[in-house]
Each structure stands twice: as structure tokens, then as C-alpha cells.
């Protein structure tokens, strides 16, 4: 098969990273995969195959006739069997290109979050209903995200399947913490600086934890629109000597492996790949029960799970993770789960099955 994987832009975000890794696995299985970025970005994604940069202006999302023609020309040139749209504006771009240029390739949408959290008014709902009607299949990242989109748009139920995110299974390397003194406990958070990741809540949790374990350090990996604001917040809280901002790094899993606990108090999630990375790296995870997280974090079996907003419980769970003997059993269970069910090679076969079913229905 020839497969187009559309992404928003080259950036070290979960949706783009997984699309690049999936493209690599599908290529290894003999398919011709093109990764196509809509908007400019300066990150180097982990895909050695053909990566086409359309470099379209983001402000022209609704009237980018030239961009839609460019995609149509690529479709004419490469004759893809399927086009997978991976989060963000990619579905809108593909559908509008198809309508204005009349190409026939089936569109598959990747539903990587809880869409009801973003679709909050009748106009937005109408637009998204229209876009999803133009898809041949919807692949949701978790059972909960599938239920969410099916409740919002009941007509999507018959074409929705669930395939989680996965990870590569690399050899892990030792790394040194940056700009931080030797600490008794090293906590880590990986994620973009956006409201969904709830950094303000994370800082509140960390402040409470410091009262129990003063010689602790919080390492923040990632970047995003709220980073400067969060750096100022840390200074206001007087925590600048206990928190380090790393920005993007290619050694995410190595740092996770080095940490004592990974924290994820997000308020909105799909199925975050960072939890799978931590589970593979044998680092205990503590997370809020949002999105599809409960489908991989089983309390006291593969991690520690708290209800959203329970900061006191979150602090206690971190203490349990660093102090109790049961943690060794938990991380062992978690790694076995990831290796068996969430490795990218296995998941690529499941994507293949969806593509083949779409092509069968087309014929």
C-alpha cells in the first residue's frame, strides 16, 4: 500500500511522534509511507523515509486553496491507497482539499483525545460533524475517547475502532540531570506547556510533596505556549532552585528511566504515550484518571491512579511510589504490559487491518 500520514507540523508532540514512529513501522512492513507536514516546524521527527513539508500558513486554515491543490497534486503523483489524518487541523485540510479538488482517496481520522472537551458550541459541533462524515474510518486512541466521539456524533459509531498509541522499545542510556543539585528524589513531568497538562496543579502538588521530602527536584521536559508563564510562576512560588526546565530533548526516555517517579496530573488526555514510555523504562507513574489513562494504569498493579483534583492523594501516591516495596512489582507488571500490547510493531499490524478493511469496502 501507499499511505499518506498527515501531521500538523514537525514538532515533538505525542500525535506527531507516534505518526512518525507508525510510518517507520509500516515502511518496515513493505508499505510506501509519506509523512506530510502541513505547517512549518523545526523539529526532527524520528522518520527516515520521505517527509514532505508543505509549509502552509496557519492563518489560512479556511481558505488555503493553494495548499489544498498542493495536496491534490501529491495524491495525483503518488496515488495513495489511504490518507490518515493525525490530530489537529489535518482532517479539516484533507476534507477541504478533497471537496475542492475532487480526489477519491479514502480519509481515515485519528482521534487522539476527548473531542467533547474542545467542541463546545453548536457551530463547532456542526463543522466537526461534517468533517467526520467525510471519513471512511475513525481510529480512536482509547475506549473512552471512542465512547466520547460516538456520544457526540452517534453516526460515527459504525466506523470507529480503537488502537492505542504505542512506543518503540529502545535500549536506555544513563544521563545526567541538568542544572540541579544532587537530590534524594527526582520527579519528572514530560509534556507540552498547555492548559491540558495542568502545570499549575503540578506545581501545587510538588509544593505539598516538598513538605514531606524537602530534598526533591522536579524536572520538566517539553515546550509550548505557556512555558514562559510557568517559568514566572515557579519564580513567584520560590521554587526555582527545585525545578529545572529542559525544553525539548531527544533523550526523553533516558531521563524518564533516571527518575524516581513520573507525574501526570493532566485535566484532559487521550492515551498519553509518555506513560507507556515510563512503564517501559520501569519508572513508576502517578496520574489523574482522565481520558484513557485507566486503560493502562491499573491502581497498585501497573501504577498509581487518582481522581482529578485530588492533590493530597497524589502526594501520598508519590510517597508510596518511592517508599513501598510493592513498587518493584508494579513497575514489572507495567513493563510486561507495554512490551506485550503497546509496542509499535504490533500496533502497525492493527493499523494495516483497518486500512485493508477500508479498501475492501471501497471495492
pLDDT in tens, the chain (363 residues): 999 999 999 988 888 999 999 999 999 999 999 999 999 998 889 899 999 999 999 998 899 999 999 999 999 999 999 999 997 799 999 999 999 999 999 999 999 888 998 888 999 999 999 999 999 999 999 999 999 999 999 999 999 999 999 988 889 999 999 987 788 999 999 999 999 999 999 999 999 999 999 999 999 999 999 999 999 999 999 999 999 999 988 899 999 999 999 999 999 998 899 999 999 999 999 999 999 999 999 999 999 999 999 999 999 999 999 998 899 999 999 999 999 999 999 999 999 999 999 998 865
Q: Cβ neighbours of residue 112 under 8 Å, at least 6 residues apart?
A: 14, 15, 86, 87, 141, 145, 165, 270, 271
pLDDT of the residue at 304? 97
pLDDT of the residue at 87? 78
pLDDT of the residue at 250? 85
Q: Are 17 and 45 in contact (CB under 8 A)?
A: yes
pTM over 0.85: no
d(CA 305, CA 243): 24
pLDDT of the residue at 180? 73
pLDDT of the residue at 118? 86
pLDDT of the residue at 258? 96
CB-count exposure of residue 49 (10 Å: 0-12, 13-18, 19+): middle
CB atoms within 10 A of CB 30: 7
* E strand intervals along 175-221: 185-190, 216-221
**Distances from the Cα of 201 to the Cαs of 59, 226, 246, 272, in angstroms?**
32, 14, 19, 18
Amino acid at each position: 500500500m501507499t499511505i499518506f500520514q498527515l501531521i500538523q507540523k514537525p514538532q515533538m508532540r505525542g500525535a506527531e511522534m507516534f505518526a512518525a514512529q507508525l510510518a517507520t513501522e509500516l515502511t518496515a512492513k513493505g508499505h510506501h509511507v509519506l509523512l506530510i507536514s502541513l505547517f512549518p516546524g523545526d523539529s526532527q521527527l524520528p522518520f527516515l523515509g520521505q517527509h514532505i513539508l508543505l509549509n502552509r500558513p496557519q492563518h489560512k486554515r479556511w481558505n488555503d486553496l493553494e495548499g489544498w491543490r498542493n495536496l491534490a497534486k501529491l495524491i495525483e503523483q503518488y496515488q495513495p491507497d489511504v490518507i490518515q489524518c493525525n490530530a489537529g487541523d489535518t482532517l479539516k485540510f484533507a476534507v477541504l482539499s478533497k471537496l475542492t479538488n475532487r480526489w477519491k482517496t479514502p480519509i481515515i481520522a485519528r482521534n487522539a483525545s476527548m473531542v467533547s472537551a474542545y467542541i463546545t458550541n453548536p457551530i463547532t459541533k456542526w463543522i466537526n460533524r461534517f468533517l467526520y462524515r467525510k471519513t471512511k474510518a475513525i481510529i480512536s486512541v482509547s475506549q473512552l475517547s471512542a465512547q466520547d466521539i460516538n456520544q457526540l456524533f452517534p453516526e460515527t459509531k459504525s466506523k470507529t475502532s480503537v488502537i492505542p498509541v504505542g512506543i518503540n522499545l529502545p535500549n536506555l542510556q544513563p544521563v545526567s540531570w541538568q542544572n540541579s543539585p544532587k537530590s534524594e528524589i527526582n520527579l519528572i513531568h514530560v509534556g507540552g506547556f498547555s492548559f491540558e497538562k495542568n502545570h499549575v496543579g503540578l506545581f501545587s502538588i510538588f509544593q505539598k510533596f516538598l513538605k514531606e521530602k524537602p530534598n526533591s527536584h522536579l524536572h520538566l521536559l517539553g515546550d509550548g505556549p505557556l512555558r514562559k508563564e510557568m517559568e514566572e510562576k515557579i519564580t513567584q512560588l520560590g521554587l526555582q532552585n527545585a525545578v529545572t526546565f529542559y525544553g525539548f530533548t531527544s533523550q526523553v526516555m533516558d531521563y524518564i528511566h533516571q527518575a524516581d517517579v513520573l507525574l501526570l496530573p493532566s485535566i484532559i488526555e487521550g492515551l498519553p504515550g509518555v506513560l507507556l514510555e515510563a512503564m517501559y523504562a520501569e519508572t513508576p507513574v502517578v496520574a489523574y484518571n482522565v481520558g484513557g489513562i485507566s486503560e493502562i494504569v491499573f491502581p497498585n498493579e501497573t501504577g498509581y491512579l487518582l481522581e482529578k483534583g485530588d492533590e493530597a492523594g497524589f502526594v501520598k501516591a508519590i510517597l508510596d511510589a518511592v517508599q513501598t516495596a510493592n513498587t518493584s512489582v508494579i513497575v514489572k507488571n507495567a513493563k510486561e504490559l507495554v512490551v506485550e500490547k503497546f509496542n509499535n510493531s504490533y500496533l502497525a499490524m492493527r493499523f494495516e487491518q483497518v486500512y485493508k478493511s477500508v479498501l475492501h469496502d471501497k471495492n
